[in-house]
């Protein structure tokens, strides 16, 4: 059994969506970050960086923080949602792109544009422009493709799962997905997967998945 420590954030939803895709039993332990539960000593033992999500795999004794590590671990353990051969590294490349660029930069948009609008014009412009640049990068990658990695039109992998919950906050970022048609179509493909909706609502329902 896997314990998932999580909350209703893009990073948390990455892993819950993957666990729903895997179709395995797992135990959800909500960590309410609005109440600083991520700083509890017991959680610190599992996630030294005090950030959700984290997992404990009671079958193997492995406990992990950081979504990239968690998703790669689960993909290897269950041999699903990854690709083989040279495209394996293409998948890793785009997973790292999400972790090092897309997620952090969109998080800054949320901070300066959604929650603190009008307080720092330079920061708003800087991060909004970077968000649009990153959307353009992903839109270009998806030209003629269904998913970001894999041969031909691609296969659905952990790289796509990692990106989706951040793009699902496009309204927070004041971005119209219709301006990025390849990305929009990719987004709608993932929305249609039943596991996406189930994973999006863990540990609780907040809103419906925003649509273009």
Domain pair 2-78 / 86-193, same fold: no
22-36 confidence digits (pLDDT tens): 999 999 999 999 999
95-136 confidence digits (pLDDT tens): 999 999 999 999 999 999 999 999 999 999 999 999 999 999
Q: Cα–Cα distance between 209 and 201 in angstroms, integer?
A: 9
53-97 confidence digits (pLDDT tens): 999 999 999 999 999 999 999 999 999 999 999 899 999 999 999
Between β-strands 62-65 and 26-30, what pairing exists: parallel, antiparallel or unpaired?
Answer: unpaired
The third-level CATH classification (topology) of the domain covering 2-78 is Glutaredoxin (3.40.30)
pLDDT more than 90, % of the chain = 100
**Which runs of consecutive H residues, i.e. helices, occur in the chain?**
10-22, 41-46, 67-78, 86-97, 103-109, 121-141, 158-167, 181-191, 194-200
User: Per-domain residue ranges for the chain?
Assistant: 2-78, 86-193
DSSP 3-state of 55: strand
DSSP 3-state of 36: coil
Q: Does domain 86-193 have CATH number 3.30.300.30?
A: no
Token pair 């796509």 is found at 160
Q: Cα–Cα distance between 195 and 40 in angstroms, integer?
A: 30
């Amino acid at each position: 059994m896997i314990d998932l420590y999580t909350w209703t954030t893009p990073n948390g939803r990455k892993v819950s969506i993957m666990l729903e895709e895997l179709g395995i039993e797992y135990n959800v332990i909500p960590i309410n970050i609005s109440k600083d539960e991520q700083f509890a000593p017991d959680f610190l033992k599992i996630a030294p960086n005090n950030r959700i999500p984290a997992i404990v795999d009671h079958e193997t004794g492995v406990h992990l923080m950081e979504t990239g590590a968690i998703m790669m671990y689960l993909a290897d353990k269950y041999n699903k949602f990854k690709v083989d051969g040279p495209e394996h590294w293409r998948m890793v490349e785009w997973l790292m792109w999400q972790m090092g660029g897309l997620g952090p930069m969109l998080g800054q948009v949320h901070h300066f544009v959604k929650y603190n609008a009008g307080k720092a014009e330079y920061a708003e412009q800087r991060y909004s422009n970077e968000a649009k640049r990153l959307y353009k990068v992903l839109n270009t990658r998806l030209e003629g493709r269904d998913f970001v990695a894999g041969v031909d039109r691609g296969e659905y992998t952990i790289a796509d799962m990692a990106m989706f919950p951040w793009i699902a906050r496009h309204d927070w970022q004041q971005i119209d997905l219709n301006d990025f048609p390849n990305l929009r179509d990719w987004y709608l493909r993932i929305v249609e997967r039943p596991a996406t909706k189930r994973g999006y609502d863990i540990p609780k329902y907040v809103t419906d998945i925003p649509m273009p």
